[in-house]
């Protein structure tokens, strides 16, 4: 298998490979069938019976059959050309294997850094309607974080940075330490960067929020502006692509635990 078929992403830029892939010439499909085989305690993607590789030349092997089968469906669903933009689970799996698995502490630290300036903690001063909408969407998650994680974060109005209590940040770091699977951690990282909130990502990971609920909570301000001024086609196209990655991250998180 060619090693450059599907780009991975670095910890700091999970969507960078998607933008690069969009500019690159797409490779032609070189296989007929995609399947899954149990190999060495994992479930490997196989193309025409041969084990597939990540861009880092590691076996594209998954922790559960359910996840491996969904990735095989992405490969089986390709047409004449292989388009990485239509393979979100494959991209995430590549990053988990090639990057996150070898940088678990750094990935956790990157997620925890978002908690220090979490989206949920910064509120508008006006108009009143937006203030109410933010409170309705964000306050229940903050309450859950305080009660379930022991992470009581400070809420402020405006955008001036407010330091968070160290015990709250330590509680969030402890919750991240409990995630030992690189596939789950990679998914959590993507959800954090897409929403701007470590708390929203953890709420999805722990079953407090469905992915679409977390997505709506992350876009209260944007949706308010859309209601006031209407949609921008280009912005909505970007948002749809980001939602596709959010949904894939949540799917990987669920399938990696099955």
Same fold, 16-101 and 103-255: no
Which phi and psi angles does 178 have, rounded to 5°? -75, -10
For residue 67, what pLDDT is reported? 98
Spatial neighbors of 153 by CB under 8 A, at least 6 apart, are 115, 118, 120, 121, 142, 145, 146, 164, 165, 168, 199
Residue 39 DSSP code: E
pLDDT grade for 238, boundaries at 50, 70 and 90: very high
Q: What is the pLDDT of residue 24?
A: 64
| pLDDT for the residue 20 | 52
Is the confidence at residue 201, as pLDDT, over 70?
Answer: yes
In the chain, where the domains are located = 16-101, 103-255
| 58-115 confidence digits (pLDDT tens) | 999 999 999 999 999 999 999 999 999 999 999 999 999 999 999 999 999 999 999 9
Give the residue from 112, 105, 111, 135 showing the smallest Cα distance to 122. 135
4 SS3 class: coil
Question: What interhelical angle do 88-98 and 65-76 show, nearest 10?
Answer: 130
Q: What is the CATH number of domain 103-255?
A: 1.10.3580.10
Residue 181's pLDDT band (boundaries 50, 70, 90)? very high
Whether residue 3 has pLDDT greater than 80:
no
Q: What angle do CA 115, 110, 138 make, to 5 degrees?
A: 25
Q: Is the pLDDT of residue 182 over 70?
A: yes
Please tell me the predicted confidence (pLDDT) of residue 7.
Answer: 38
The pLDDT value given to residue 258 = 73
Q: What is the mean pLDDT of residues 30-40?
A: 96
- Domain 16-101: assigned CATH number: 3.30.2180.10
Please tell me the predicted confidence (pLDDT) of residue 9: 39
């Amino acid at each position: 298998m060619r090693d450059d078929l599907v780009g991975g992403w670095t910890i700091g830029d999970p969507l960078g490979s998607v933008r690069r892939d969009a500019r690159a010439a797409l490779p032609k499909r070189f296989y007929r069938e995609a399947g899954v085989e149990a190999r060495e305690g994992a479930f490997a993607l196989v193309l025409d019976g041969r084990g597939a590789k990540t861009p880092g030349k590691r076996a594209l092997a998954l922790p559960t059959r359910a996840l491996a089968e969904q990735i095989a469906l992405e490969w089986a669903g390709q047409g004449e050309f292989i388009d990485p933009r239509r393979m979100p689970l494959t991209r995430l799996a590549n990053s988990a294997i090639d990057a996150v698995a070898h940088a678990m502490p750094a990935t956790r630290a990157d997620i925890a850094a978002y908690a220090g300036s979490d989206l949920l903690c910064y509120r508008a001063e006006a108009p009143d309607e937006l203030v109410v909408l933010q409170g309705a969407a964000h306050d229940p998650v903050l309450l859950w974080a305080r009660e379930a994680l022991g992470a009581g974060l400070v809420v402020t109005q405006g955008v001036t940075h407010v330091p968070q209590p160290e015990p709250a940040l330590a509680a969030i770091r402890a919750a991240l330490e409990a995630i030992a699977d690189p596939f789950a951690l990679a998914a959590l990282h993507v959800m954090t960067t897409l929403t701007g909130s470590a708390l929203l990502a953890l709420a999805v990971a722990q079953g407090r929020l469905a992915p679409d609920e977390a997505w709506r909570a992350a876009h209260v301000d944007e949706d308010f502006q859309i209601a006031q001024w209407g949609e921008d086609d280009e912005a909505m196209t970007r948002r749809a692509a980001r939602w596709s990655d959010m949904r894939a991250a949540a799917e990987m998180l669920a399938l990696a635990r099955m």
